[in-house]
Every structure is written in C-alpha cells, then in structure tokens.
Amino acid sequence: MNDQGAPVLYAIVTGSPAARDVGTLVDLAHADGWDVCVIASPYGTRFIDVEALAAHTGHPVRSEYKDPGTPDVLPPADAMIVAPLTGNSLAKWAAGISDTLPLGLLVEAVGKKIPVIAVPYSNQAQLGFPALQEAIHKLSTWGVTMLVGDEVNKPHAPGTGANHLARFPWESAWRAVSEHPWRTVDPA
C-alpha cells in the first residue's frame, strides 16, 4: 500500500516492442484505484517513454538497483505484472538470476509470496525451446500466474512479432491480479 492506502502494482517490462504499450496497463490499474510503478530492464527502457510514464504514474521509472544505504523511492508492491517478458528474462528468473533490477524484484516476489502475473512475449520457436518450457512450468509451480499459450497469448511465428502487438493481453494480465491465489489486497 502507498501512503494514501492504495494498493501498489509494479508493472515490469523487459526488452520487447510490446513494452511500448505498458501505459495501457497503467490506465487499467489506475481505473481500479491502484497506484502503479513502472520498472524496466535495461533493454526495456529502449521501448518505453520513461519521462511520460514517470509523469503518468507519479513515480520515477526504475531500471537499476539503488545505491546501498539509500531509501527506495517506490512504495512496496502488493502485486507485480511482468509484461512483456522476454525469453531471456524468463530463463534467468526461473534460474534465480538477479542481474537486473526487474529480475531481482521478481525472484524476491516469489519468495515473499507477492502475486506475480507473467506474460511471456516471444515467438513460438523460442517459447518451444525446452529450457523455456521448463522455466514456464517451474514458475507456475512456484505460484506465478503464467499467461502463455494459444488460449491466452498465442505465440507468433518467428519474425512476425511486430504484427501481433495489438493483441497483447494487457486486460487479461490485469484481471489475473484479482484472481491470483496469493492475493490479499482488496482494491476497492
């Protein structure tokens, strides 16, 4: 919860063109009374308008770990949505690698039992790779809601990702927060 008692969503983006529309998620959460903080991987910052998102959310967009001993500028998260999630970040997260701020927050969130929704966005060849399939399975068994597969977010053919950005499931990701089994915050 933030200082005003609103629940806090961390909207985490990684390096994918789909990240450019994270403002859609911010708007959905704001409409339901949530405070939103955007966190981007270093490559994720290439696809977003950092200044516009900071103005829209009222929080700086973080992409790096803070300096030791300095206070955090963001309120603690009540839930997290990592969307889009690249195959690289997916594999690292499942392995517990925290070499970026988003991965460190996601690894810690599983341990703290913070509701996390993940929306992998990659082509069908990459998402079909055994290590990524294993990562999806592991994270699911650890309590992460994975929105992937033909019924939710059908993986696209290699080289066609830009053609499918309009159907990215921002609304499904937002709805999944309220359905997460670890959810304890009442957004109303």
Inter-residue long-range contacts of 103-110, CB under 8 Å, 24+ positions, other chains counted: 103/41, 104/65, 105/10, 105/12, 105/39, 105/77, 105/80, 106/12, 106/80, 106/82, 109/77, 109/80, 110/139, 110/142, 110/143, 110/144
At the top level of CATH, the class of 8-179 is: alpha beta
Torsion over CA: 143, 147, 151, 154 (sign): negative
CA-closest candidate to residue 160, choices 18, 2, 14: 18
Residue type, 71: P
Domain boundaries, the chain: 8-179
Per-residue pLDDT of the chain (188 residues; tens, 9 = 90+): 787 888 999 999 999 999 999 999 999 999 999 999 999 999 999 999 999 999 999 999 999 999 999 998 999 999 999 999 999 999 999 999 999 999 999 999 999 999 999 999 988 899 999 999 999 999 999 999 999 987 888 887 888 788 888 889 999 999 999 887 765 544 44
